[in-house]
Structure 1
Amino acid sequence: MNSPKTFDAGPAKAAPSLAFDELTAPPEWRRIEFLSDLHLSPHTPATLAALQAHLQETSADAVLLLGDIFEVWVGDDARFDDFEASCLEILRSAGARLKLYFMAGNRDFLLGPDMLKDCGAQALSDPTVLCAFGQRWLLTHGDALCLADSAYQAFRTQVRTPQWQAQFLAQPLAVRRALAQQMRDGSKAQQAMQREDLWADLDTEACLAWLKVTDCKALIHGHTHRPAEHVLAPGLIRHVLSDWDFESEAPRGDVLRLRASGLRRIPLA
């Protein structure tokens, strides 16, 4: 991983400053996969099983987890509990045979170095530029670019501060779990009051600004649960990852697979 770079990305609405890392794929890599938004919890055993099966079977040299792999993560000391310990073993097994990377999402931003070390995974900053197959690919979870949701952006700024995180993590694990459930219940109640098609999406101006300063032509992200490809401008594309839900009557979930020949969406359901 190269040293972080910081640039001015333009007007305030379009993210005024942007610090990003670069990850250069070694020449021996032939396949790189991206996935996000599994929202794993004790209530999603089928989705966890789908992840385990895919990680065991994939021919990818590297798998990049782009956030919200867990429905909630309240601290790395939780990794020894039953559900989290099961997830740890699945990720550890994958990390032993391929390169595994993790980028924090809005649900699992408290996943830290202890969990990553035990999984054999490396942290990715948000955003990161992946240099692979002669191209530059901008990777982000996506929530930082949902600028129309001002209430969430204020909350995000608060909980990403070292002070807030230190205070939260200092509380007993049971208390943290209860607080996380309260926040999750509040979020669900707020979402229920809105039509799904009106939920905030990534700001196009901000996406274009990030692509410009990072010298990338493609953005890959999750978060919105709206898998698609969007042409932002001539030659500039936004690829949206699918969420995973193998508990429903109509299971869904896919990965994006990058090879020298290009990017391809692989349905798993």
Structure 2
Amino acid sequence: MTVQPVDRFAECIAPANWQAVDVISDLHLQAGEPETFEAWAAYLRRPAHERADALFILGDLFEVWVGDDVLSTHTSPSADHAFWRACAEALQAYSAHAPVYFMPGNRDFLLGPAGLDACGMQGLSDPTVLVFLDQRWLLSHGDALCLADTDYMRFRAQVREPAWQHRFLAQPLAQREAIARELRAQSEARKRSTGNDPSLWADVDTQAAKAWLRHAEAHTLIHGHTHRPATHDLGDGLQRVVLSDWELSARPARAEVLRLDAKGLHRRPLRP
């Protein structure tokens, strides 16, 4: 399978006064993982002198998102609905001090305009070039480049179709949540079949990543999705930087922020 061509890369041009930006992905926030939520909320509450000038979230902020109405429903609200609202409130509070940019992942691609507004976030296309500190950084969730996972790529193409999304969102909320639970169960079963080892999951295709970088006139691709934090030298002056996932209940716990500033790229682990 080949990667879908990108005719023109979207651009996010940083204001001249920005000195640093933070990039994160794959927090998979959910009510059943309170430790991860608390670490993330603590990160958002840091004092102003510790904050970057902007926060970029490259997908899978949420474990699942079945529609923006999870933030507004008051009919038999579940613990999950209250959790999503708590997430939105935390993001709104942070965005009052620094802009937050969100790129959809494979878990939360249904987060729409109403959800973005409720969270105080600005949407980003996947991929997007961040123009910052006289460099072009290519940002992506990363799943569109995992070409060897042909089953997923077919599924991805299906659910990203506007017609499919319209039909799905037209269903009652309870039905959408039931479908999401079934899809998550299937995903977990698939992970268990590989020993839940990310090193055995499909990875980003190197040639496709290099083609994107050349077309975007960038030297560094930053992405998540694979849960394999590392920096890969692609040759020809190109590199691929993989973000960490977050799971504070794991031992050892995982939570890391990637900061971009005048000194380059810095991984900043968060301690539980």
Distance 1:205 1:73 in 2: 31
Give the SS at the match of 2:45. helix
Deviates more, 1:149-158 or 1:53-62: 53-62
Distance 1:204 1:79 in 2: 39
Quote the residue 1:95 is aligned against. 95
Distance 2:114 2:6 in 1: 29
Look up the equivalent residue of 2:87 and give its one-letter code.
C
Distance 1:166 1:254 in 2: 35
Aligned counterpart for 2:216 among listed residues 214, 220, 242: 214
Quote the residue 1:204 is aligned against. 206
Quote the residue 1:77 is aligned against. 69
- Aligned CA RMSD, in angstroms, stands at 1.2
Look up the equivalent residue of 2:157 and give its one-letter code.
T
Offset, 1:263: 1.0
Quote the residue 1:139 is aligned against. 139
Give the SS at the match of 1:52. helix
Taking the TM superposition and a 5 Å limit, the aligned residue runs for 1:165-180 are 165-180=165-180
Give the SS at the match of 2:59. coil
Deviates more, 1:16-25 or 1:145-154: 16-25
Look up the equivalent residue of 1:206 and give its one-letter code.
A
Distance 1:264 1:59 in 2: 14
Deviation per residue, 1:59-108 (Å, 9 max, x gap): 11100000000000000000242111110111111111111000000000
Contact 1:14 / 1:209 at 8 angstroms: preserved in 2?
no
Structure 2 residue 33 is matched with structure 1 residue 41: no
Offset, 1:15: 3.7
Offset, 1:14: 4.6
Quote the residue 2:11 is aligned against. 22
Q: Classify 1:249/1:54 alpha carbon distance in 2 versus 1 (closer, same or farther; 3 Å).
A: same
Contact 1:14 / 1:205 at 8 angstroms: preserved in 2?
no
Quote the residue 1:7 is aligned against. none
Quote the residue 1:6 is aligned against. none
Q: Classify 1:228/1:18 alpha carbon distance in 2 versus 1 (closer, same or farther; 3 Å).
A: farther
Q: What TM-score, normalized by structure 2, do the two folds share?
A: 0.92
Contact 2:3 / 2:144 at 8 angstroms: preserved in 1?
no
Look up the equivalent residue of 1:79 and give its one-letter code.
L
Offset, 1:118: 1.7
Distance 2:267 2:7 in 1: 28
Percent of pairs with identical residues: 52
Deviation per residue, 1:27-84 (Å, 9 max, x gap): 1111100000000111011111111111111411100000000000000000242111
Contact 1:15 / 1:206 at 8 angstroms: preserved in 2?
no
Aligned counterpart for 2:40 among listed residues 41, 51, 55: 51
Q: What is the aligned length?
A: 258
Q: What TM-score, normalized by structure 1, do the two folds share?
A: 0.93
Regions of 4+ moved over 6 Å: none
Offset, 1:19: 4.1
Deviation per residue, 1:157-215 (Å, 9 max, x gap): 00001111011101111111110010111111122212522210000000000001000
Q: Classify 1:18/1:207 alpha carbon distance in 2 versus 1 (closer, same or farther; 3 Å).
A: farther
Structure 2 residue 55 is matched with structure 1 residue 63: yes
Distance 2:153 2:4 in 1: 12
Q: Which runs of 5+ in 2 are unaligned?
A: 73-80
